[in-house]
Chain A
Amino acid sequence: MTQQTPASHPGVFDVELVLRQARAYLAFGEQVRLFTDRLGETAQADWGQALQQHFTQLKTAIAQSAENPAINPELARLWLLMADTWSETATALGMDTETIPDTLRQTEAWRAYQHTQSDYFSQLQDTATEALDLMEQRLNELVAAGKTVSSLRELYNLWVDCNEQTYGRMLRSTAYSELNGRLFNALLRCYSRPEAQS
């Protein structure tokens, strides 16, 4: 049985919440800087093609960091925001993958949870990839409309919009509702007594 959890009694604001997202934003900025650097070397006539080519490189950099966060942990954090949020929640419930006992690690319930969590993260990653595709499409539409993006923050906000749009679509799908239920249930089964698992 859980006691009143510490997270339920917030005291002083956790500055780390801001610092983590700020570092992720700066990592995003660094990738965009590389992207615009290459784009700046492109002749104006080839701009559309260059956008596609360099944006593909930007997507690859972000995707690689997601698959292996060690490559660029801050950039990965931007991409894996929702996965991080879930991991922190699981940790708050005592499911810290670093500290769980070996006896639990060897159970079928733990393996099932790992499998479901992997499905969940994979779903998030697919959605984030869709968001980058959408962002590329939006940028092309801006170009076609003769509009300009003139700051890093505008690009970041566009990235957020695109992620919210693709994520929101996923969130409202029947498949996600089922996956969300499976994720919770799998986590709980790692802790539950046999009679509670019906």
Chain B
Amino acid sequence: MISLTADQIAAEIEAFSHRLQQGARTLASVGEIETGVSPRELIYQEDKLTLYRYQPQVEKLHSIPLLIVYALVNRPYMMDLQEDRSMIRGLLDAGLDVYLIDWGYPDAGDRTLTLVDYVQRYIGHCVDVVRDRHGVDALNLLGVCQGGALSLCYTALYPERIRNLITMVTPVDFHTPDNVLTHLLRHVNVDLLVDTLGNVPGALLNFAFLSLSPFRLAGQKYVDLVDIFDDAQALKNFLRMEKWIFDSPDQAGEAFRQFAKDFFQQNKLVKGEVMIGDRRVNLHEVVMPVLNVYAAQDHLVPPAASRALAKCCGSRDYSELSFRGGHIGIYVSSRAQREVPPAIAAWLLAR
């Protein structure tokens, strides 16, 4: 039954319009939204890449540093979004010495960067810098999403430099039936895309993500926003997340070409057929302890895509951590703050 009269609807519309008018003024005056809250120092730079070390939060640090490799798509401040939503803060509080690679924003000059540059040169140099600073042969590596796939490639090629590997919401098998990103990319002519555009614009990637759930992500979300216009904290949280969603760096053309074709379209990672330069990535070489963290309700990287690692890596100390939430919630939800960093830290400290 629809127990609604025309007068009720008119009143609801009027109330909505009123909130909208007030809120639009508030929104326009909010200005730039700050992200990334934990103090950090710049350790190393190469091209667009910056390696940061976060200021430790405890006196007695874990002796093995942790290097975080984030995805090339979107920005890594999602790991340190705000005071009460910071995975990095949680890792620091647990006594870890945390480093992070910020890939920066590729421009036309980076069009020819390949996965050799990203895996062997950039990750390789950062690993070496951190190893040298701490005088250790091997460090702990945490790869996030696409950064997890790159971390797997690096680790398979240089296993002696990685003491423990953590993969987080990382795709390994790109052809599970529920992988909608692969589904969307399957018939796109990647060569035509890269040959035509050079770098792949962030706007295209935004479109791909919005197209997964457009009525919620591009419609309902903004209608619901009107409900929190008078809650300054909730509004800032919303705007911070919104900034991150649309903060999509362009993708270096040649690296995108190989990642899209070899990983998404041809699923070579799980088959052991990915080539980084002239070296084959064999996940059986990943023999150190592995913690595979996935999100049970992840619509971008389905759990099955991540859990495929169990069958193809060579580690005898392989564990999984299932987080009850989605691809974004695993970084920013309250439960994630309580559950994920302490679990990662405990796993590392036990090894």
* A-contacting residues, B187-208, CB 8 Å: 187-189, 191-193, 195-199, 201-204, 206-207
B201 touches A149 (CB 8 A): no
B201 touches A12 (CB 8 A): no
- When the two chains form the complex, which single residue of A1, A25, A33, A151 contacts B198, counting CB atoms closer than 8 Å? A1
B108 to chain A, nearest CB (A): 5
* B-contacting residues, A124-166, CB 8 Å: 139, 142-143, 146-153, 155-157, 160, 163-164
A176 to chain B, nearest CB (A): 8
Binary interface profile of B, 22-40, with partner A (CB < 8 Å = 1, else 0)? 0110011011110000000
Q: How far is the CA of A39 from the CA of B32 in the complex (A)?
A: 47
A32 touches B195 (CB 8 A): no
A188-B189, A196-B192 given; A36·B202 CB < 8 A: no
Count of inter-chain pairs, beta carbons less than 8 A: 218
Q: How far is the CA of A5 from the CA of B30 in the complex (A)?
A: 24
Q: B233 contacts which chain A residues (CB < 8 A)?
A: none
A10-B246, A81-B215, A153-B12 given; A2·B24 CB < 8 A: no
- When the two chains form the complex, which single residue of A34, A150, A156, A188 contacts B193, counting CB atoms closer than 8 Å? A188
Which has the most chain B C-beta neighbours within 10 Å: A157, A168, A177?
Answer: A177
- When the two chains form the complex, which single residue of A12, A13, A85, A189 contacts B192, counting CB atoms closer than 8 Å? A189
Q: A182 contacts which chain B residues (CB < 8 A)?
A: 187
B214 touches A181 (CB 8 A): no
Give chain B's interface secondary structure class. helix
Residue on B with the closest CB to A5? B201
Binary interface profile of B, 1-37, with partner A (CB < 8 Å = 1, else 0)? 1111110111011001100100110011011110000
B192 touches A18 (CB 8 A): no
A81 touches B13 (CB 8 A): no
A164 touches B107 (CB 8 A): no
Q: B30 contacts which chain A residues (CB < 8 A)?
A: 12-13
* A-contacting residues, B97-152, CB 8 Å: 105-108, 111
B222 touches A18 (CB 8 A): yes
Give chain A's interface secondary structure class. helix
- When the two chains form the complex, which single residue of B1, B31, B199 contacts A149, counting CB atoms closer than 8 Å? B1
19 CB-based A-B contacts, threshold 8 Å: A1-B111, A9-B247, A13-B33, A13-B243, A18-B225, A19-B20, A29-B12, A30-B13, A32-B4, A51-B2, A82-B218, A93-B201, A148-B2, A160-B216, A164-B215, A177-B183, A188-B189, A188-B192, A191-B197
B residues with a Cβ closer than 8 A to A are 1-6, 8-10, 12-13, 16-17, 20, 23-24, 27-28, 30-33, 105-108, 111, 180, 183-184, 186-189, 191-193, 195-199, 201-204, 206-207, 210-216, 218-220, 222-223, 225-226, 239, 242-243, 246-250
